[in-house]
Structure 1
Amino acid sequence: MLLLGTFTLLSVAAAGLVALFDPAPAPASAALRPAANQASAGGQPPVRIVGTPFVPNTNPRQR
């Protein structure tokens, strides 16, 4: 327990020192950045579904 406590205390102290000497950069304006998560759906072919759709079993007693 002594070793674990010592390691935890030293790790927290090291993280605190790094946070003091390396401040986070200022956040950029959200209006200037393009959305990285959105893709255009114009050039994508339609998806073909084969078989029955998956239905989760919400009642385990019933099969």
Structure 2
Amino acid sequence: MNSNWIKVYTTENAITAEIIKQGLLESEIPAVVLNKQDSSYGTFGVLNVMVSPEHFDLAIAYILENEL
């Protein structure tokens, strides 16, 4: 993963993170999910949806438009 990517969404729900990522990808906005949850339990921590800086504004607009 490119270390210059920017967080556009944070959640504790893995399904929500994946739905947002897939929506961004379908809108031709490259996105990844960075999982920062504890691997032992999976209930502590967050998941961050990340995009490259040049797609940040488009990603935020997509998220706001879809009320995610």
| TM-score normalized with structure 2 length | 0.24
Q: Could you say which structure has the higher strand fraction? A: 2
Write 1 or 2 for the structure with the bigger share of helix.
2
Name the larger-Rg structure: 1
What's the TM-score once normalised by structure 1's chain length? 0.26
